[in-house]
Structure 1
Amino acid sequence: MSFLSIHNLSVRLKKGPPLLRRVSLDVAAGEVRGLVGESGAGKSMIGKAVLGILPPSVEVTEGEILLDGVDLLKLPPAQRRKRIGAMAALIPQDPLTALNPSHRIGPQITDRLVDILGWTRPDAEARARALLAEVQIPDPDRVLRSYPHELSGGMRQRILIASAFAAEPKLIVADEPTTALDVTVQKQILKLIAGMQARHGTALLFVTHDLGVVSKVCQRLSVLYAGMVVEDTSVADFFAAPRHAYSAALLDATPKYTDPSAGLQPVPEAVIAAVQAEVVAFDRGAAHG
């Protein structure tokens, strides 16, 4: 049974165009599912909808988001926040802006455990120290007393990973968690996330534009274009034989590190035109019921 099930989720700007077009996908307990596509495809919007953090200018117009069998969209706001807070967490994209610069690291990990989940302060602090050690941060006590600007980007991202796992959530949304890091640190962080996910058995919705990342950490993936899922498949099948022309073009556009002389291959205009036509046809069908 899927821990997260999204059925026909549509999101749009209020009095504006659609951002997600009847998106459906499932994430099983302990599974890692990738969301891939170019910038603006709607990857992060799916994660925000699941976590209940859509911008005020955006609204859900139809669909279901079932978290452990309960439709979040049918819950009163307070109950929805409580359920999401107990079961899900976020690893955000930019570790510098995600952490409050005026607060020390310790409270930024422990306050959620104390205020939302009812932990005692000593238990929450012990949990924070243990998690910092698990994400391979030396001298956790010093780091808990530090401010974000006193730490490197890689260390800040490790702190966000520790914070996401703090309450043992059943689902984590990782929103391009390595984008703001250099290549060497990216590799370390990906390995760390994969190890934490495996040890804790957490379902992971991994948002990325990097198919190389997908090949390393995901079991299944959804390919999006303009807020529409064009392919939903296993990672193995995707890399062996993508079914949709746009998926195949994305794969062909991936840099070939084994052949530095090979030039970059953009997605052909004919493929873009064809998938745009699919979106137009989809919108026309939706408008007519």
Structure 2
Amino acid sequence: MIPALEISGLSATLANGARVLRSVSLTVEPGEVRALVGESGAGKSMIGKAVLGVLPPSVRIAEGRIGLEGTDLGDLSAKARRALIGAKTALIPQDPLTALNPSRRIGPQTTDRLTKILGWDGTRADARIRQLLDEVQIRDPERVLRSYPHELSGGMRQRVLIAAAFAAEPRLIVADEPTTALDVTVQKQILRLIAALQREHGTAILFVTHDLGVVAKISQKVTVLYAGKVVEEADTPALFADPKHPYTRALMAATPKYTDPFASLKPVDEAVLAGLATEIAAADRDWRAPHG
């Protein structure tokens, strides 16, 4: 079976040559949810941006391969690459308010991708969006489609963006911490919606998060990152049952325990971080030698 996403040896650098992604390799199979987990600055969102072709101007891909359903994005022209990414991928962003244009009604924003990128006619696009709004349990879709983003709650805005992401039946969705801006109760509802839609549509998801609780609930496989480097990957049950890397174990130990709310937090041990820093510095020296 051809993977929905295959990343091999991906390194990305800043203008000064510093690496922000370090030889990252991972695979997302069709219909699979793979979580990318790590602390802030670990490179999770950077990987998602590389897949979607929206890296910041200050970051360039230095080496490696990104394949979408067997097609190497590096082999395509910029126009062909944008067309393939537009047809096969979608994004569920972190902050639904900033992701939506405040000066436009919800309706046109949710159908733009269907009409302008995929070439659907307006009637077909409108019908598809209404169908998806029903699937994400929006009770009054007509009112929502006429609304501006500020007229909706955070949970409603995120449901709209989830509907828009699934509307064109993408083969891969990058979900970039899609519950971070929501309160805990709404987070649970949104995670259930994403999981239900993913199962129904058979969509592969690259799920970016720093929350190990979310990882346990939604993913089948996990990739743990630190400073742009993969330190561990495993099936989700195996990772939680027997984490192999000291950093993974430290992350788990640092997670608040809801069963013991008065327990002291355990920060990641300095010795673990020092060991990782030494390992990364050595890898970067080896990498720079042939790359200049």
Scaled by the length of structure 1, what TM-score is found?
Answer: 0.99
Aligned match of 1:159: 160
CA root-mean-square deviation? 0.8
- Aligned equivalents of 2:112, 2:254: Cα separation in 1: 44
Aligned match of 2:44: 43
- Aligned equivalents of 2:148, 2:262: Cα separation in 1: 44
Secondary structure (helix, strand or coil) at the match of 1:238 reads helix
Aligned match of 1:272: 273
- Aligned equivalents of 2:278, 2:251: Cα separation in 1: 18
Q: Percent same amino acid at aligned positions?
A: 67
Q: Which amino acid aligns with 1:69?
A: G
Query: Per-residue deviation at 1:51?
Result: 0.4
Matched, 1:19 2:20: yes
- Aligned equivalents of 2:279, 2:136: Cα separation in 1: 44
Deviations 1:17-40 (A, max 9, x none): 111001000000000000000000
Aligned match of 2:145: 144
Q: How is 1:8-87 mapped onto 2 (pairs within 5 angstroms)?
A: 8-87=9-88
Query: Per-residue deviation at 1:261?
Result: 2.2
Aligned match of 1:3: 4
- Aligned equivalents of 2:260, 2:132: Cα separation in 1: 40
Q: How is 1:162-177 mapped onto 2 (pairs within 5 angstroms)?
A: 162-177=163-178
Q: Which amino acid aligns with 2:149?
A: P
Structure 1: which 5+ residue stretches go unaligned?
A: none
Scaled by the length of structure 2, what TM-score is found?
Answer: 0.98
- Aligned equivalents of 2:287, 2:58: Cα separation in 1: 22
Q: Which amino acid aligns with 2:43?
A: G
Aligned match of 1:220: 221
- Aligned equivalents of 1:186, 1:119: Cα separation in 2: 32
Query: Per-residue deviation at 1:288?
Result: 2.7
- Aligned equivalents of 1:74, 1:224: Cα separation in 2: 27
Query: Per-residue deviation at 1:223?
Result: 0.5
Q: How is 1:77-116 mapped onto 2 (pairs within 5 angstroms)?
A: 77-116=78-117
Return structure 1 stretches of 4+ with deviation > 2 angstroms.
none
Matched, 1:193 2:194: yes
Q: Which amino acid aligns with 1:118?
A: G
